[in-house]
């Protein structure tokens, strides 16, 4: 019973980290500072990487039975 809760918390934290990286990329784009050490593409690449990790984790959780989809949503 504890495993699905921990899994959902991890997913929410990953999604928040994705939003955080997207915000950092936005700040980098608006600032247009050429002396910064990390370009905007660095943060966008991390966002894509963590999005792929979230999708893979969801597929693994659905296949292993940790998460059970709702068959009748109405």
For 36-47, the pLDDT digits (tens) are 678 888 889 999
Cβ neighbours of residue 40 closer than 8 Å, sequence gap 6 or more? 25, 28, 29
Is 54 inside a domain boundary? yes
Residue 45 lies in a domain: yes
Q: Is residue 29 part of a domain?
A: no
The backbone torsions φ and ψ at residue 44, rounded to the nearest 5 degrees and listed phi first, read -70, -35
Query: What CA–CA distance (Å, rounded) separates 61 from 12?
Result: 14
Q: Angle 15-8-48 (CA atoms, 0-180°, nearest 5)? A: 25
Residue 20 lies in a domain: no
How confident is the model over 10-28, as pLDDT tens digits?
A: 999 999 999 999 998 888 8
- The whole domain housing 51 covers 1-12+40-67
Q: How many domains does the chain have?
A: 1
| Residue 27 forms part of a structural domain | no
pTM, entire model: 0.80
The position carrying tokens 């979230």 is: 54
- The answer as to whether 19 is a domain residue is no
């Amino acid at each position: 019973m504890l495993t699905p809760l921990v899994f959902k918390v991890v997913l929410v934290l990953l999604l928040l980290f994705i939003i955080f990286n997207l915000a950092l990329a936005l700040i980098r784009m608006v600032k247009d500072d050429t002396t910064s050490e990390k370009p905007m593409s660095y943060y966008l690449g991390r966002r894509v990487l963590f999005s792929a990790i979230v999708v893979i984790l969801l597929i693994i959780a659905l296949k292993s039975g940790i998460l059970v989809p709702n068959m009748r949503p109405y």
